[in-house]
Structure 1
């Protein structure tokens, strides 16, 4: 298994029965000897950004709702953003991979409004201790695949898991057609 790193996607295998991650697509934001951290990309909530973080509503891409990023620290939020000009990232921006980064939501909106091409806000995150994620991958709970910046800003998050699997080479593409419950096939 290749080392896990920022920008990879973890796509939940059908065998993963943890309700926190069932059918999920997780973007890894950080992975090292101390553990891993990511956000679930395909769990939009019914809560509008405007209802919780009014100042950020005009910068959030459609669907302009908060996303359930994971089961850890659900009382906090983090934003993933793409600068309009990658050569000039906005204040409060820390690049994670290929022009995509985390934007500090304490940054005054007026300082970043003209510098963003996309923004999505996640409540909570997914986290793993040292070696935990590697063990889950080894046991077959996750498909590890390359991510694309567009995955973060997918217009139809409900189709993201299928779309990500479908673009993979070989037999992994077939997993996109596997039913959630094979007994109903």
Structure 2
């Protein structure tokens, strides 16, 4: 297996913070990887809602956002920028059949894709199954994520389209771990503060 194949294979997967990850920016986070190649990695934290309503910053998109209809902190980088993720049901099957995607939406993995926030929302409204807005993103330079993985900071697991629009994002870390097989499912029961155990 070539290094490039190994690197690019993580796009669309989830990084789930291990209990030993000490960085407060990523404590108990679930990160969806949007791009992962030899140049670095970009993802968004799926489980950090902010108190800011989507309507307060991107009013035209507020109606399409799924509850909770707030902006999520996608990571510590570029907090003054916004990106949107949406699930388009049937997008994977359409691509397999050779049909173009939805205008204003770029597929990342399966039915999950990035939305062009400059596009008119009504252009996408009929196609979207869910939409979530993120301020900022998580980024890693070349080889940085691989080093963190080798240090045991993250679990890498498969994503599901519902992860993007989890109705109770604060519980997503435990929910993603709980659906894994074997010992990894047991990590979901790890206490918030092990010293209190």
**TM-score bin, normalised by smaller chain:** over 0.9
- Following the alignment from structure 2 to structure 1, what is the Cα–Cα distance between the partners of residues 168 and 122? 28
Q: Is 1:69 the counterpart of 2:74 in the alignment?
A: yes
On the 8 A contact 1:83/1:89 being kept in 2, the answer is: no
On the 8 A contact 1:41/1:151 being kept in 2, the answer is: yes
**Residue 39 of structure 2 corresponds to which residue in structure 1?**
34
Question: Alignment partner of 2:152: what SS?
Answer: coil
Structural mapping, 1:1-185, within 5 Å? 3=7, 4-86=9-91, 87=94, 89-185=101-197
Bigger fraction of residues in helix: 2
- 1:69-114 alpha-carbon deviations (Å, 9 max, x no partner): 0011111000001225523633211100002100010111121122
More divergent stretch after superposition (75-84 vs 164-173): 75-84
Question: Alignment partner of 2:186: what SS?
Answer: helix
Give every structure 1 segment of 4 or more consecutive aligned residues whose post-TM-superposition deviation is greater than 4 Å.
none
Unpaired runs of at least 5, structure 1:
none
Q: TM-score, normalised by structure 1?
A: 0.95
- Following the alignment from structure 1 to structure 2, what is the Cα–Cα distance between the partners of residues 84 and 37? 24
Question: Alignment partner of 2:129: what SS?
Answer: strand
Bigger fraction of residues in strand: 1
- Following the alignment from structure 1 to structure 2, what is the Cα–Cα distance between the partners of residues 25 and 73? 18
Displacement of 1:180 after TM fit? 2.2
Q: TM-score, normalised by structure 2?
A: 0.90
Question: Alignment partner of 2:51: what SS?
Answer: strand
**Residue 97 of structure 2 corresponds to which residue in structure 1?**
none
Aligned pairs, how many?
184
- Following the alignment from structure 2 to structure 1, what is the Cα–Cα distance between the partners of residues 125 and 184? 39
Unpaired runs of at least 5, structure 2:
1-5, 95-99
